[in-house]
Chains A and B, each alone.
Chain A
Amino acid sequence: MTAKAEAPILPPNQTYADVTDQLASIPLHFPARRRWLIALLLSSLLLGLLFVAATVLFTTGVGIWGLNIPVNWAFAIHNYVWWLGIGHAGTLISALLLLLGRDWRNSLNRFAETMTLFAVVCAGMYPILHLGRPWFVYWMFPYPATMQVWPQFRSPLEWDIWAVLTYLTVSVVFWYIGLIPDLAAARDRARRRGWQVFFGVLSLGWRGSAIHWLRWHHAYRLLAALAVPLVVSVHSEVSLLFASGTIPGWHSTIFPPYFVLGAAFSGFAVVAMIAIALRSLFNLQNLVTDDHLDILGKVLLATGLMTAYGYVFEVFDALYSGDAHELQTLSDRFFGQYWWSYWGAVFFNFVVLQPLWFRLVRRTPWMLFTISTSVAVGMWLERYMILVTSLYRDFLVSSWGEYHATFWDWAIYAGTIGLFLVPFLLIIRLLPVISIFEEKEVLHKEHEEASNARA
């Protein structure tokens, strides 16, 4: 393997059949049953915790959380933003890089999209959980109510509903369309009747004809073109949830790009974590190569630096405005009760990131995994910081308060991790985790280029 940018990303010494066999056999002849079962068991426990916590929440009220006036938004909203941010990388990798013709995405897009799906589901849970009267959540939709009351379209929460639902719908369709050729491949390799029917139905009669491929390419690229602006709109919109309020620390025009970049940052970190985990679990070093990790490391570093730019500009904004309340909030972030959330974000998101300047670090799986984990934690702290340090001391000193997360705050959060992992584990058990045909496309291209070069 060579380190040159133009060099083939996949080792060329493999045939198409090898790739298909290797990937399609994962669901059919699952290699790591024990480890997978343990992981599923632990995740199910977390999911069970979510059910318990949600039951308590729905029966008694959001009072079980540590919320109060002034901090009447905390874990629910900040985890919502965090999950949604994680969900961003999938679409970015799949759609944006597809349109840009970056071949390395083909090793990552399938599980990145899967990750997006369940991260968005986790995120989508929160706006319902966090309602005082969740049974009226349908009032946020413009259904033809007999009282002729509409939702309020000025509210960022209303846009939120639309943005997230659109994003989820497009992500699901995009993920499924991308899956069809592989479902057909799995159908063709399945020996047992059950699997054949399962994959047969899901593959929608795919036969791999040229016209199929043509239609498929049209559809896939069209959806990709639709999905890319959604990545930007969803998180811009989420940021307006804050920026529309007058609260110091929120009321800033930098928020939309700041949030989108932060989202991509955390998303890529989680993609890197999953890539490294799957690669070692299923011995996919030949498909998710060190070069892939290298690229992921670079992207992480780039988005991380952009996020850091956001930090710098938040400080600059406050100082430049000279507004006493903004300065107060700035000092609360630096030195206040929740200083650890600010400096934690700076440390995990910026300081820990710096070794990525070195090639060795980027290509060493455990190092990249550690840094990615740190970014996931750092972004969690950043969302917490933005929410809590702004609200706990807003304008009037008399209404300053404190926020302390309760057991139930943590239970719901841990529960959503279960909600993310359980279906994710099921998917990697049931479906090809890496896009088979797209890998073969890359391989094909590489072989062609190689033979052209020889000629």
Chain B
Amino acid sequence: MTARDNTPRFDLARVRDVTSGSKRFWSSLEELIDEDGFRAWLAAEFPAASSMFDDPGRRQFLKLMGASLLLAGLGGCGQQTNADHALPYVNQPEALVPGVPRYYATAVTFEGYAQPVLATTYDGRPTKLDGNPDHPVTRGKSDAFMQSAIFGLYDPERSKTPTRQGTSASWAAVEGAFAALRARWRERKGEGLRVLTGATTSPTLIRQMAALAREYPAMRWHRFEPVGHASQDEAMTAAFGRAVSPHYRLDRCDVIVSLDCDFLGPGAHQVSYAGGWAQKRGELAPAQGRARLHVAEAIPGLAGTVASTRLPSDASRLGALAQAIGAQFALPGWTAPELSGAEKRWLGRAVAELRAHQGRSLLLIGTHLDPQWQALAPLVNDRLKNSGATVWYSDPIHAPADGSQSLTALTADMSAGAVDTLIVLDCNPAYSAPGGLDFASQIARVPNRIHAGLHVEETATACEWHLPLSHALESWGDARAVDGSTTIMQPLISPLYSSRSVHQIADMMLGTVDPAPDTAVRATWQQAFGSALGDRWTRALHDGFVTGTTASPVSVTARPPSPPQAGPTRAQGQFEIVFRPDPTVWDGRFSNIAWLQELPKPLTKLTWDNVIAVSPAIASAQKLSNGDIAEVTIGERRARGPAWIVPGQAANTIALFFGYGRRAGGEIARESGYDAYSVRADERPWETRGTIKRIDGRYPLATTQAHHRMEGFDFVREVTAANPRTPPPKSSETFYPDWNKSTFPENKPEHAWAMAIDLDLCIGCNACVSACNVENNVLVVGKDQVSRGREMLWLRVDRYYTGDAENPKSFFQPVPCMQCEKAPCEMGCPVHATVHSPEGVNQQVYNRCIGTRTCSSYCPYKVRRFNWYDYRHFSEAEQAAKNPDVSVRSRGVMEKCTYCTQRIQAAHVQADKENRPLKRDEVVTACQQACPTKAIVFGDLRDPGSAVSQRRRSGRHYVLLEELGTRPRTTYLARWNDGEGGDA
């Protein structure tokens, strides 16, 4: 219920009518003019009081609640805020200056893990999330999911009110329902009560579930994560006899060998591992300690793109490689399987390097592989003396679930009729359960079904009750980051809608009436902090994590894994099909976030859809081309979707991606793609066998990059150990003086902004692109516009291939505006809408732009973006997400990267206020701030000590399209080639 919906028009006559001649007490005008509406509001806001407000008890009611009602303004601080009721401060709070951002440390969660953030808020509105710089996991860095979480908060399609069978209800009614259910549970001692959540690390939720289990001993708490770490838990249990969480110290690794483990790919660990890995790259030349990386993988991942050697390998062959590694380390019972020449070469080199760098190497085996293979890695790392050095183990960070707590067990119980009440908290199994489980039809057998989530998603429509959850940025909570350190999450804004947090709902299950948002979390930390609660609580909120909660190593020794049952077999007449989360919408949890839909997937550059990724070999055998509709048959089940040929995908492999084909959960979520879960089997969740065939018809796909070869140009350059420098710049004749040799020394700018991007560090993860989108209010244009080549990305990550399609080398190249010193765009504009700043930034004056597009026609880098239509179709909620320091561009206006000019100006203002010059590297652009590998560096060229000046002196420095003489301020560092093509 929002107050706006039922606020009647104010009618003075009616008020006079009601008040005349009576001594009626009243507390608000709403009460006078709309008794029904007032009652509804009262019932929602003070359920316990609403019964008292009936006429006979009114006097008593007023006695009890008068104070609360007179403080009805509190409603604005609590459950409901509404722009209609916003009032200016009477006394402005100290230190709160309108328009000046404030920063709060908190976290958002991803698969249960905390992503520690520092949130920027303007006048009470969070507008941007960045990694918490003090937190050991993020060190200020972020990923695409963290950056885009803000859009999840302002998603206009979030569910806004509890519903019962699709019609809205009040929280009072929900509490009534819980009261009835609790009586039932108590009677049956919790028999038949099941709670299903996603993976969680939250101490409070774990405590609440334990409390629930104490109260109703027979209840069971199930956990289900469509991607998650279930198979890793299984493997670790097999290796160590207990569940542990492995932690990799990639910054200590000289050699990393990965069997299908995309440790740089999207996921909870991306920021942490990418940062660690990057420390062993960069200026370190091959053979100077630069880490070497050998990757064998079924489908191209981000780690594969930066590997020294990469081997495309079908899932079954990955097993064979694992077995061969086991045999090489002479594990009892492990025999060497047949390997092809390429496999032998790759494996020989990988194992030799692992052995040569004992204690400084690491074998990683991906969580998509069968746990029997994964269990090999701990033993090999033990043998290589890597344990304790490059890998250590801790007690599990997340609450591990055993087999009886799985979704499989739950579904079995549901079909057996053993489940009486199912409460699904922030989890969507009706969509994401493997199709083989048939969860969606089994859930109908449960008499009492309650779902709590951010959206009215598939599971919500299958449940009697749907309860709207508060977003992580609206609620109190706690969660552990991948290193185990715990963040107490504080709300940055009061809930936008009538929603409650998971902990509030868990408290309601425990019998609390109308639980306060922070009670449960405070209770948890009361136990931990004891009498020091006040100080330590404040400290933890300020820092963004609780000191001393980082996981500590446990001493475990890997057991030799049992020999593989049967050697892996090649598929006969069938293809190997692997399942993967989507790189931008993951398992579907982000599928209603338009910006993540429009974020180009790192390797395919596709937006708005998932595809059936096929290898070039399968495509040519099945006569499939990009966009053809293909049908994949796995056993009895079929899925249809557009085919896409992925260079570098293993020859016999087809990949299906989750997150699309949604049937509910919002307009955007429902729009596109096919449902890969429907053909997923519960017992073989990651790889299976099946066939593919072409179906007549084409499916329109929207990609932001249609061509992927460099066509003989050297946009991305490489250097080798033998030849570690890029060719020196050709001196070209020019009429123009250099910027720092101005004829008028007094005009010499104090700063000369520049950016240098190290292509050796770029992993194409999209963190920079997402950060840029949020920072600069870049608008979503939709699939149709993207397919017409009208995407708005100010910063794009170009992806190129070299070599053959079966195993190409991939390159990423982020391309923001080059900020040319001699900018072709500037001389084309007839109205001075794009001009040069004294500090060397090529500025775009939106207000002055009339949209001739000459600048874009002249731009050799095509980094300018045009508002072909008015793309500003956003709701009030989305409007709140906009950065107030950046104008939102209207129709007919050109826009582009500005080096985050608002940040440069803010830094100038700050320095002026403090009467000091700008500090070295004080200005940080949004992309630079986000980049987990520090590939992007920004700063002042006039300061020889600045990071960007240092990079410019590197031998690897080069200029994109230097021959044009545009003198870009954005330049690149060439990539090291230490693989087979290089001479290392």
Contact = CB atoms under 8 A, between A and B. Distances in A.
Nearest to B850: A136
A131 B710 contact: no
Interface stretch (A19-27, A64-72, A283-291): A64-72
Interface string B424-468: 000000000000000000000000000000000000000000000
User: Which of A149, A396, A397 has the most chain B CB within a 10 Å cutoff?
Assistant: A396
A157 B830 contact: yes
Interface stretch (B62-70, B98-106, B821-829): B821-829
A415 interface: no
A444 to B, nearest CB: 50
B529 interface: no
Interface string B705-740: 111111111010000000000000000000000000
Q: Is the interface of B mostly helix, strand, loop or mixed?
A: loop
B853 interface: yes
B869 interface: yes
Contacts of A120: none
A136 B894 CA distance: 14
A266 B849 CA distance: 34
A139 B705 CA distance: 35
A155 B709 contact: no
B862 A396 contact: yes
B405 interface: no
A321 to B, nearest CB: 11
B864 interface: yes
B856 A72 contact: yes
Interface in A60-81: 60-63, 66-73
B828 A155 contact: yes
Nearest to A156: B828
Contacts of B862: 69-70, 394-396, 399
A134 B788 CA distance: 23
Contacts of A73: 853, 857
Interface string B856-870: 111011101111111
Contacts of A66: 788
Interface in B850-898: 850-854, 856-858, 860-862, 864-870, 891-894
A454 interface: no
Interface in B812-857: 813, 815, 824, 827-832, 848-854, 856-857
Contact of A401 (B706, B709, B832, B854): B706
Contacts of B708: 397
B830 A397 contact: no
B177 interface: no
B964 interface: yes
Interface string A204-246: 0000000000000000000000000000000000000100111
Nearest to A153: B830
B828 A244 contact: yes
A132 B867 contact: yes
Contact of A133 (B713, B868, B892): B892
Contacts of B857: 72-73, 245, 247, 391
Contact of A245 (B713, B800, B858, B864): B858
Contacts of A140: 830-831, 850
B828 A245 contact: yes
A133 B824 contact: no
A296 B696 CA distance: 55
B891 A133 contact: yes
A161 interface: yes
B516 to A, nearest CB: 50
B861 A132 contact: no
A247 B858 contact: yes
Given A73-B853, A132-B853, A133-B849, A395 B832 contact: no
Contact of B799 (A68, A244, A398): A398
B812 to A, nearest CB: 11
Given A69-B789, A69-B790, A132 B894 contact: yes
B712 to A, nearest CB: 7
B223 interface: no
Nearest to A66: B788
Interface string B689-707: 0000000000000000111
Interface in B572-599: none
B796 A131 contact: no
B798 interface: yes
User: Which of B800, B850, B894, B961 has the most chain A CB within a 10 Å cutoff?
Assistant: B850
Contacts of A354: none
A158 to B, nearest CB: 4
Contact of A396 (B849, B861, B966): B861
Given A247-B858, A325-B713, A398-B707, 8 more contacts: A69-B865, A73-B853, A132-B891, A136-B850, A140-B850, A151-B832, A391-B857, A396-B715
Interface of A: 60-63, 66-73, 127, 130-134, 136-137, 139-140, 149-152, 154-158, 160-161, 241, 244-247, 323-325, 328, 391, 394-402
Interface of B: 705-713, 715, 785, 788-790, 796, 798-800, 813, 815, 824, 827-832, 848-854, 856-858, 860-862, 864-870, 891-894, 960-961, 963-964, 966
20 contacts: A61-B867, A69-B790, A70-B856, A71-B789, A72-B853, A131-B892, A133-B850, A139-B848, A149-B832, A150-B832, A151-B831, A155-B827, A156-B854, A157-B828, A157-B852, A241-B854, A328-B711, A394-B860, A395-B961, A397-B715
